Structure 1
């Protein structure tokens, strides 16, 4: 009998986790102990895996993330607790905030769409498809459990008499002995963790001072319903989490990666809109490079699951973005084809959402949602595709602060009434598909021919920006403006206009001039100021590549500049900084020269969106596409800055031959025309070479940050790494 205890304990995970499979219609749902009658443990989640295949518990540690037991998701937890990263194999739901009554409407029900497992203990982070905003997460403890310490535990497991009770139950553990990643515990006063309690919280303190020390992992289950009455032991093992704070923060606080096959490894989409398909020049393709060496794929309109058909000059992929549009844990690719002909309307344009799946884009049941005028719902259905609309020339995709996916689609060639090319944009979110123009209530600017409203768009969780870089300000043609909106829908069902921006406003530096093209490029990122609980503000970067600058008394035509603005949660703005190359002797790298077009492109990122924003986490990259490098005309360059603080600090100059980009600079390569930040890299697309078809470089952030050292870059080039040796403008857009 002395040997029975350790052998029994080694098999406890199997007994605890596999047991609920026999429940069939419903998972187990509460621990032996005291039923909860208030909201004190509302951070505890009931987790249902598959069609009630398994029932577990979990803990809300962030508005979008649970901690729970890896054994809930392991194929055979008696053999191994290994869990693949990425989307769970079986559909998994989590009910949070209903500790006192699972049948109530309190809290929230969410789907688990991503797993981030530990390899050293029975713990996994589980991302929810949307944030839970009405339940406060619990913080992690920072000190280990001590022998003799009493800790509270909770779970949605069986009781002595109920198979699936509707209330969370709690009990008290006494810590027997802590180990490196776990602690042995004994239930006090006859309480024990039962089947379904796996992953539930083990906490120190109560109420607002409660801290998560561990998770229920294994138990002898003495006294639990359907356990041999001869089993009276109430001990078990808890998986420690008090030392996992930095790991949790690194996962929870990181920007979302592009992951088309939902395996937890970052993927890359590279557009080549000039590529030929079936001999049709300029039909366009998007090439996918799956991370982790899982191969490549080509997406084009000749695939039977992609809307339309490849035609010469379509330029499929001229604009792209990414978002998990159907909230299943797999990133979806949004593709604009603004030169698509619809019927007799040439260059009418359209947009497709191409859905990711475990087998890659296009391998799931849901493959393509198409947006074009004259079809679908809302403003798409009620509008008419016309020649030159160019729907899909610009795209911004993302999720609101509430986690709801959205699209902003520019149609800059749209006629408003009889006014040609005044421009329009479509906003799509849930059942909303609404058009926005300068004729909409509260939108700044007037409807004028050739404004091109919607030529560029940007959006983040809080705000939307739609620019008209050809807008006439006063009598200054092509001076440009931008309109800023919130995601809140107004009485017309449109995003609420907040304000307009142009250089004739007193609060904006400079002055509107012909051809400035204010708004030719846009970047928008969420910003968390000091003292704010969340990133509820935004910072907007606006490029004016046609700006003429007076440098040391000499006019530099089309040298270009970028301005940044802080957008508050209340919907007001203030200008932060103005960026330009300046002179050879100032602290900003480069020299302003006529025709540089500084700001032809901009990219920005907040590398720590959950933390208070700092100069180190808020990054800006500016493309200077027509910069001459030495005597090499239009070689192009990039300057990086911080979005916070002075432009003369935290900047770095990038040209071919620096930051890991191979040299020498090439004429007309226009480095900087395609730039995109992720949380860890700056992607630089060079569709005009080097290489016969174009090249993309992925530069670690250390390579493009002031004072950083160069690390190894990744090169994507047709003819290498499984990419076919074909194309026309490979790297035109990278996501």
Structure 2
């Protein structure tokens, strides 16, 4: 009995239903069952996948607005030999049509598949789309597996009895023969069978997803030997994969420049010498999985400009998949680049990821400088001291559209010198934002430096002007918050401005507070909301004087951080202030002159799809001026929850204290000046030494109160394939 069953499954395995489409005039379409009417949205979550230029066609099912579940055999090099599929970007361009029962129609959505997350125990892979799908409800997973004798519905876009490549979604029924741990054997009911092109199609019980079509004898399918009458098949179970799916779908995105599914890291040394040019700047790329190290500088033929003394290439960086191909792209600011005769005008570039690593693809880079290109950037004039690229933030909107915000805090606005501006790019949108734009809070004034700080998430944008004068107090500072929705005048819609003389912000505006010197915005999903439709905004004010004795003595430049919510309606409410306080309160440290707490901020939501909690919303605050004992400017880092009580969630990190930063505190090391959170770790740069600089990747548990201290990953010149040279290694990381 076992022998005959083995022969049967071997026969089925030779007939995996991913189908070559090279001979088809149109994409393949459906099971040998009943066509679904155009008006019937019952199976709208079913998708049709085309791999390569019509190399293969498969079916799939939407299980999340951004993710499909389908058969790994659709992407395997030789499905008859192995179902192994590399994780990461698909090796061939892959498209998906979702919510379109008739492929000749226009309803539903068309998307690109940009990431694969395969299972190793069954014919299943998760496929991420370049943008979420709106208007189509994902299929819910069943809570129990198939049982012998029950009837299940299946759907797909494969061949029919009479057509090689029909255009209609079809459905039919299976009877379950027997179930195993990861699969079940089935027989098509009433002569129906899964055909080539149906691999990965949903198998359903009462509308809930039990499995995916995987293998079939294909009896009755077009092009199959008429002597083959069996409609037997195999489905891959998915009812037990909820935790796996939720874990992948709900995770924060990793940086993956070469699309292999392993996290990479870009480390800037903007003070590095390139050739003989000091402070020209460079970026070191460390590819995950031991795949090597690369150097990017302006002397490469695919990077704009040329390495020159004092350019400070990579003085700012961020990442986004700008061209939506599944490979992370790096946005690099070159703050002090001369443009023509305009000294320190600055510019920025997008450097594209590719299968062979950065700079190896057909599209290598896109260059942006004032007076060139398109839109507001072309309309602007490069002028001395503009410092375009001083800050850059990038990400995607709630609709999945990539955006970039880049600042030029020295930009002249009209005749007002160094008022400052920012540029916003999203698709065809290329617009300037400054304080003379309609409804933008504040007014353009000399030396405001609007854009000296930036933050953005999928909901909102924050632009700081820490040098802004408020009611006569110079450098008191302010900021403006915007929506990604465009104003009638074409720029992002302003929502509100904040400064410390407003009733909605604690404290009071004082000279040299540097309010909004640093900013962070983090997507927030409140209880009762279906999505993350709010933001948590943190505002650093490192020049703030704080008192530890009831006001009698002010500690100049002690610093503090203000935290609050930006609601879906675009309103602000402060929730807390964070500062070191007194020696006997529940927050580590004591406010002291020159600490400059809040000079840097980094925040992350480690579970962006779930209801936000104190554990998932994390904030790290740099205090680079902290004196430790008699060691001045040694620096330290506080980590907090963005939404829970400060003291109970505060962890103090300094060099040599056992959290992962080795050595002992050193004078003028400014620990905390260079920090960056991801979903799993806190990167801490030490560009001011000791030595040539270093970068430490602390696991999340090292940054959480009561968390277990785990080994850190160390990036240091002279180790791990990195050249033994550096000037400000670790100044930026993404």
TM-score of the alignment, normalized to the shorter chain, above 0.5: yes
Contact 1:277 1:284 in 2 (8 A): yes
1:150 paired to 2:151: yes
Equivalent in the alignment of 1:679:
679
Instruction: Measure how far apart 1:51 and its partner are.
Output: 1.1
Unaligned runs of 5+ in 2: none
Partners of 1:106 and 1:349 in 2: CA distance: 45
Instruction: Measure how far apart 1:150 and its partner are.
Output: 1.2
Query: Which residue of 543, 549, 571 maps to 2:546?
Result: 549
Partners of 2:233 and 2:720 in 1: CA distance: 50
Query: Which residue of 227, 245, 248 maps to 1:251?
Result: 248
Contact 2:466 2:478 in 1 (8 A): yes
Equivalent in the alignment of 2:214:
217
Match runs of 1:46-195 below 5 Å: 46-99=48-101, 101-195=102-196
Unaligned runs of 5+ in 1: none
Partners of 1:152 and 1:268 in 2: CA distance: 45
1:84-129 CA-to-partner distances (Å, cap 9, x unmatched) read 0011111110000002x11111110001011000000000000111
Equivalent in the alignment of 2:428:
431
Equivalent in the alignment of 2:16:
16
Equivalent in the alignment of 1:28:
28
CA RMSD of aligned residues (A): 1.2
Contact 1:20 1:27 in 2 (8 A): no
1:470-508 CA-to-partner distances (Å, cap 9, x unmatched) read 001111110101100000111111000000011111111
Partners of 1:201 and 1:215 in 2: CA distance: 5
Instruction: Measure how far apart 1:2 and its partner are.
Output: 11
Instruction: Measure how far apart 1:372 and its partner are.
Output: 0.6
Match runs of 1:295-444 below 5 Å: 295-444=292-441
Contact 1:9 1:220 in 2 (8 A): no
Equivalent in the alignment of 2:660:
660
Contact 2:65 2:138 in 1 (8 A): yes
SS in 1 for 2:15: helix
Instruction: Measure how far apart 1:235 and its partner are.
Output: 1.3
Partners of 2:18 and 2:103 in 1: CA distance: 22
Contact 2:11 2:217 in 1 (8 A): no
SS in 2 for 1:598: coil
Partners of 2:15 and 2:189 in 1: CA distance: 21
1:472 paired to 2:473: no
Match runs of 1:263-662 below 5 Å: 263-553=260-550, 554-658=553-657, 659-662=659-662
SS in 2 for 1:71: helix
Instruction: Measure how far apart 1:62 and its partner are.
Output: 0.5
Equivalent in the alignment of 2:201:
200
Partners of 1:372 and 1:544 in 2: CA distance: 31
| TM value normalised by structure 1 | 0.98
Change (3 A) 1:2 1:585: closer
Contact 1:564 1:578 in 2 (8 A): yes
Contact 2:522 2:605 in 1 (8 A): yes
Change (3 A) 1:87 1:11: farther
Contact 1:13 1:71 in 2 (8 A): no
Partners of 2:18 and 2:340 in 1: CA distance: 58
Partners of 1:141 and 1:178 in 2: CA distance: 15
Partners of 1:84 and 1:392 in 2: CA distance: 36
| TM value normalised by structure 2 | 0.98
SS in 2 for 1:703: helix
Contact 1:139 1:212 in 2 (8 A): yes
Contact 1:25 1:52 in 2 (8 A): no
Partners of 2:515 and 2:14 in 1: CA distance: 63
What is the number of equivalent residue pairs in this alignment? 729
1:258-315 CA-to-partner distances (Å, cap 9, x unmatched) read 0000100000000000000011000000100000000000000000000000000000
SS in 2 for 1:78: coil
Change (3 A) 1:394 1:483: same
Instruction: Measure how far apart 1:161 and its partner are.
Output: 1.2
Partners of 2:23 and 2:6 in 1: CA distance: 27
Partners of 1:164 and 1:170 in 2: CA distance: 15
1:10-34 CA-to-partner distances (Å, cap 9, x unmatched) read 2424423354345344332111111
1:424-465 CA-to-partner distances (Å, cap 9, x unmatched) read 000011111111100000111111111000011111111011
SS in 2 for 1:321: strand
Partners of 1:579 and 1:686 in 2: CA distance: 24
SS in 1 for 2:473: coil
Equivalent in the alignment of 2:715:
716
